[in-house]
Structure 1
Amino acid sequence: MNTSPRRIAVISAGLSSPSSTRMLADRMAAATVAELTARGIPASVDAFELRDVAHDITNNMLTGFAPPALESVINAVVSADAVIVVTPIFSTSYSGLFKSFIDVLDKDALIGKPVLIGANAGTARHSLAIDYAIRPLFAYMHANAVSTGVFAASEDWSGRGDEVATLADRVAKGARELADAIAGSIRAPAADPYDPDTYAQEGKSFRDLLGG
């Protein structure tokens, strides 16, 4: 198995600093790295706050060109082995900043890429936004969004112990699914047809090869 480090790009669309959006993103990333480590797969994380490149995103939408800071974020997302995205819920859907970033990506940028979706809001009434608003966006991009979406409401951070534990369970489940998707994308290198060991493993010899 190829054990080269897997790179995970984490996109947080929170507007404040610190933000519960970034807090959730960090927990999801840490849980995913832990799951991969348990599978013997090293991983690294590149985390980005979209508010840091908000003006660049607007300029990109107006001019069609990404300033260097935004280009660096886009390149990290496109080249990553997997992506974790977390957005606050505004007006029952993803934030405008989050959608604007997705809009500046090339339409083929996320094809087949494993994605773990997260969202947070002030109330659990918005928990379905992941499935009716955010997931279809990544389906349109042909990304491989894992089944579990991780939603956090305000009470998940400051509520009773069982509520905090429930959030931890959701994070762990989403992380396992993303780790499974990443692990499933790792393939053993193809055998070299000219390597003597290949034929030895197959019970063949070079005489067999030369004899057709």
Structure 2
Amino acid sequence: MKLVVISAGLSTPSSTRLLADRLTAATLRRTEAGEVEVEVEVEVIELRDLATDIARHFVTGFPSATLAAALDAVAAADGLIAVTPVFAGSYSGLFKSFFDLIDKDALTGKPVLLGATGGTARHSLVTEHALRPLFTYLRALVLPTAVYAASEDWGEEGLDRRITRAGTELARFTARAAPEPAPATGAAAVPDVDTTAAIAPRSLTGAITSVDPADGFRVIPFEQRLAALRAE
């Protein structure tokens, strides 16, 4: 399972990157605890490092190799953590610009955990009023719990609980969205239980009399089977 983390923080160190890291750690704890049995590969994308490439792409229409790799990583991810600082009551321009370059179908059905940081609790609804509509428009599967961290939230138990809950949701939803291993093929392939049950011989209608792929399926018309039952 591949998890991609997008951080739009501009400073170093960055509270936005710190929140992204803590959300990632909470997700990994749930997988390592055995709650979700899957190996996770994590890739972190710092949009600060791509700012010039993003602006150039808007002008030229062509991404740099580094930006193209970041866009491909998002498209190939099984789950996404996206965290932005708050500017003027909404997501940052850098954050929006990056997702403007994402292919319109790249996030369809993809679990996305939203996060935001700001200097005051007055912006706490930015995740619902700005971020959630953006990713809903992109047809992503936006998780129920989004995490906003104001300056005074750091070190508080409430923030820790929200991070833990959000990480648990992402671990579960991402595991469900991850592709399952391809079924076996060839002579050694064995039908799974559900398939066997679905095509098992039916005593009342007699519609299918064999489940062996080598024999094929012999279909008996209903009228013929009904006549045989009446004659018994």
Contact 1:130 1:149 survives alignment (8 Å): yes
Q: Which structure shows the higher helix fraction?
A: 1
Partners of 2:108 and 2:55 in 1: how far apart? 24
Which 4+ stretches in 1 moved above 2 angstroms? 186-212
Contact 2:111 2:177 survives alignment (8 Å): no
Match of 1:9 in 2: 4
Matched, 1:52 2:69: no
Extract unaligned runs of 5+ from structure 2: 201-209, 219-232
Partners of 1:196 and 1:90 in 2: how far apart? 56
Percent of residue pairs bearing the same amino acid type: 45
Q: Provide Cα deviations, 1:23-50, integer angstroms capped at 9, x if missing partner.
A: 0000101111221232221101100110
Partners of 2:61 and 2:87 in 1: how far apart? 26
Partners of 2:83 and 2:123 in 1: how far apart? 14
Contact 2:110 2:177 survives alignment (8 Å): no
Greater RCO structure (CA 8 Å; 6+ sep): 1
Partners of 2:153 and 2:189 in 1: how far apart? 58
Match of 1:161 in 2: none
Q: How does 1:150-165 map to 2 (within 5 A)?
A: 150-157=147-154, 164-165=156-157
Extract unaligned runs of 5+ from structure 1: 1-5, 159-163
Closer/same/farther in 2, CA of residues 122 and 193 from structure 1, 3 Å limit: same
Q: 1:100 aligns with which of 91, 97, 101?
A: 97
Q: What is the RMSD computed on CA atoms of the aligned residues? A: 2.3
Q: Provide Cα deviations, 1:123-161, integer angstroms capped at 9, x if missing partner.
A: 111010100111000011001110110110101125xxx
- Please identify the structure whose Cα radius of gyration is greater: 2
* Residue identity in the other structure for 2:6: I
- What TM-score comes out, normalization by structure 1 length? 0.87
Matched, 1:110 2:102: no
Partners of 2:17 and 2:217 in 1: how far apart? 63
- What TM-score comes out, normalization by structure 2 length? 0.80
Matched, 1:206 2:198: no
Q: 1:19 aligns with which of 5, 8, 14?
A: 14
